[in-house]
Amino acid sequence: MNFIWNLPLFTIVLSLFSGPLCTMLKAKAAKYYTLFLECSLIFMTTLVFWYTLHTRKAFTYSMGEFPAPWGNEIRAGTLEALIALLFLVVLLCSNLAGWHFLKIDIDESKINLYYSLLNLLTAALMALVWTNDIFTGYVFLEILTLTSCGILIVREIGRTTLAAVRYMILNLLGSGLYLLGVVLLYNLTGQLLMVPMQETLAVITGNGAGMPAVSLSIGILTIGLGIKSGLFPFHFWMPDTYGWATPTSASVLSSLVSKAYIFLLIKVYYRAIGIGVIARTPILKILFVLGICGIIFGSVSAIRANNIDRMVAFSSAAQIGYIYMGIGMGSTAALTAALFQIMTHAVTKSLLFLTTPYLAEVSGDSLLFKRLQGSGHRNRMAGFFFTIGALSMVGIPVFGGFSMKLLFAQSAVLETSVRKMMMVMLALAVSSLLNALYFIRTLVRIFTEPSQETEKASAAAGPEDGAGEGAKAAAAEKECVPGTARQEEMEIERLSYGTAGMILTAANVVLGLFSWVVVDLISRGLSMFS
């Protein structure tokens, strides 16, 4: 067996063992260890990605050498390696850029616990990407749910506690429905591994007699993952969850966790059930309609928001709508566009959530739009990175958001149904207009010099405006003496944020300018997928 076949398992196991290890380290040691771990995982995943490209084949790693249906398997192809690599790069950038606010938002004695949870979350993300067993998917869904709640509630303010409780209740409901769907499918097939399950379902549904039971199982499973990923109308938990989390948590939850649930759903559809069976149920049509509704209603809610983080959170609901619309279209071209959107959204939304706190920090630590006027001038780096993310979300050429919308338009043209084509085109046009309304409006505000009255109001911002330790820290930084240890630490933090921002910006530009390369990689991965 080639040694590279072991690397997907290593990414899971090393992350699992790193969780308990970080509890024994001090705050900074846990931080640097986690950064080292993530760089190591990126190296391993890059080797797996190169191997699948070089051999043009996926490989399956059987743990314990037990055959189906008792064994547990990890499967790695070009698509899985590409998604895993993307997740790890975004995780690394989130850690680099979020350290400054992590020290402010979390008690120093609990920072090592935070990194412990983050490493366990990394293990769950990797397992969901690599697994070839739908029950193993459930086990790591639960780990991902618990660790996600942990990195949210660790901030320990009233709103994060409320948001974490709501998030946990809904996610546990989603996990329960997913498990129920898995149990029903196991009762029908006697299989848990994906490929044997698909083969058995093809026989069961061959004469149509088993379709009602299969449709019920798939529907329950889909609702569970839809709740967890924020599919309309289950997206109402997003603003509080993302808006009150520390920036690293907001970036990870919005960019990676919700996408891991969707990627698992795609794997179940195409590998465990078979798209031929799925197409015979009404599920794709329902996802298509709900995806379009999510695009429109998420954008309308973003326009109505008076807080920049809530606006970005509602925008996430709209962007997830694109993914479900692509899945619901049911074609290979649309699925390619949906997977491209997973990548675009991951790099763009993480950039936005990591940037908005820096704009707030120079605005009296307030996220309210009325306080943010001129913040792009007060922190030019944050203003630049927010501009990149906003322009990508609007769909300006050169950035990934434009290529994503172009791919959806191309997939719509290939549709045999004129009605479906018109619905997709209309959704793209309306959403682009709405995106421009709230993102361009925000850009104008943050780069417009504030009046004297606005400056006085920002300086006097109270707790009701979100003022707190961040504003105090920003004021303290201005008073730092050059050459002191604190000044050097500040420079390292700025460098870390700038490095992370440039990596995410470069990824966005690559997705925009070289979209054909990424699409080709996705197509190769899909050819190995079924």
The tens digit of pLDDT for each residue in 125-171 reads 999 999 888 888 888 988 998 898 888 887 766 677 777 788 888 88
What pLDDT score does 301 carry? 86
The reported pLDDT for the residue numbered 45 is: 94
Write down the pLDDT at residue 1.
53
Which three-class secondary structure state does DSSP give residue 358?
A: helix
The CA–CA distances, whole Å, from 30 to 37, 96, 115, 174, 491 equal 10, 13, 6, 32, 20
Q: How far is CA 365 from the centre of its chain?
A: 26
- pLDDT tops 80 at residue 218: yes
Residue 464, pLDDT above cutoff 50: no
Q: CB-based burial of residue 388 (10 Å sphere; 0-12 exposed, 13-18 middle, 19+ buried)? A: buried
Alpha-carbon gap, residue 178 to 262, rounded angstroms: 12
Q: Which two tokens stand for residue 412?
A: 């719509």
- The tokens for 505 are 């910006």
CA gap 297, 233 in Å, rounded: 9
Give the pLDDT confidence score for residue 68 in this predicted structure.
Answer: 57
Span 261-295, pLDDT tens digits = 999 999 999 888 888 888 888 899 999 999 999 99
* Residue 482: burial class (beta carbons within 10 Å; 0-12, 13-18, 19+): exposed
pLDDT bin (cut points 50, 70, 90) of residue 478 is very low
Share of the chain above pLDDT 90, in %: 26
Torsion, Cα of 398, 354, 232, 425 (10° steps): -10
The band of 221, judged by pLDDT with boundaries at 50, 70 and 90, is: very high
What are phi and psi for residue 438, nearest 5 degrees?
Answer: -85, -30
Q: What is the DSSP string of 20-72?
A: HHHTTS-HHHHHHHHHHHHHHHHHHHHHHHHHHHHH---EEEEETTPPTTT-E
Greater pLDDT, 84 or 170: 84
| pLDDT at 423 exceeding the cut of 70 | yes
The CA distances from residue 323 to 110, 258, 344, in Å, are: 36, 11, 11
Q: What is the pLDDT of residues 391-411, one digit of tens each?
A: 998 888 889 889 999 999 988
Q: Tokens standing for 74?
A: 């990890």
Q: Strand ranges (DSSP E) for 293-433?
A: none
Q: Phi first, then psi: what are they for 396, rounded to 5°?
A: -75, 135
Helices 515-529, 78-105: inter-axial angle, 10-degree rounding: 120
**211-229 vs 258-267: helix crossing angle, rounded to 10:** 160
Q: Summarize pLDDT for 236-246 with one digit per residue, the tens.
A: 777 777 777 78
Q: Is 20 exposed, middle or buried (0-12, 13-18, 19+ CB in 10 A)?
A: exposed
More confident residue, 331 or 340: 340
Q: Looking at the whole model, is its pTM more than 0.85?
A: yes
Of 361-365, 430-434, 469-473, the range with the highest mean pLDDT is 430-434
Q: How far apart are CA 227 and CA 261, in angstroms?
A: 10
User: Is 50 exceeded by the pLDDT of residue 466?
Assistant: no
Q: Which pLDDT band, with edges at 50, 70 and 90, does 468 fall under? A: very low
Is the predicted pLDDT of residue 486 greater than 70, yes or no? no
Which residues partner with 133 through β-bridges? 193
Per-residue confidence (pLDDT) for residue 187, from 0 to 100: 86
Whether 311 shows a pLDDT value over 80: the answer reads yes
Q: Look up residue 517 and give its two tokens.
A: 């390369």
Look up residue 417 and give its two tokens. Answer: 């149904």
- Which of helix, strand or coil describes residue 75? strand
**Residue-level pLDDT at 342:** 93
Indicate the pLDDT class of residue 205, thresholds 50, 70 and 90. Answer: confident
pLDDT at 122: 93
Query: In this predicted model, what pLDDT tens digit does every residue of 100-131 receive, in sequence order?
Result: 888 887 877 888 888 999 999 999 999 999 98
Name the residue among 239, 231, 339 with its Cα closest to residue 288.
231
Question: Considering all CA atoms of the chain, what is the largest pairwise distance in Å, rounded to the nearest integer?
Answer: 78
Rounded to 5°, the CA angle 44-246-261 comes to 50
Q: What is the rounded CA–CA span in Å between residue 481 and residue 487? A: 7
Whole-number pLDDT of residue 194: 82
Share of the chain above pLDDT 70, in %: 90
Running DSSP on this structure, what letter comes out for residue 6?
G
How do strand 59-63 and strand 72-76 relate by DSSP bridges? antiparallel
Task: Give the span between the Cα atoms of 236 and 242, in whole angstroms.
Answer: 11
pLDDT score at 44:
93
Sign of the Cα pseudo-torsion (417, 422, 423, 424, in order): positive
Identify which of 200-214, 443-457, 463-477, 503-517 has the greatest average pLDDT. 503-517
pLDDT for 42 equals 95
Amino acid 469: pLDDT: 46
pLDDT score of 454: 54
Q: What local confidence, expressed as pLDDT, does residue 471 receive?
A: 44
pLDDT value for 148: 87
User: Residue 61 above 50 pLDDT?
Assistant: yes
Q: How confident is the model at residue 11 (pLDDT cuts 50, 70, 90)?
A: very high
Count of C-beta atoms within a 10 Å radius of residue 217: 22
Report the amino acid identity of residue 412: A
Peptide bond into 67 cis (omega under 30): no
Q: What is the pLDDT of residue 481?
A: 52
Mean pLDDT over each residue of the chain, to the nearest integer: 84
Is residue 418 packed enough to be buried (19+ CB in 10 Å), middle (13-18) or exposed (0-12)? exposed
CA–CA distance from 366 to each of 94, 461, 468, 469, 509 (Å)? 21, 7, 9, 11, 30
The pLDDT-based confidence of 307 (bands split at 50, 70, 90) is: confident
Find out whether 326 and 267 touch, Cβ atoms under 8 Å: no
Q: What is the pLDDT of residue 510?
A: 92
Q: What type of residue sits at position 476?
A: A
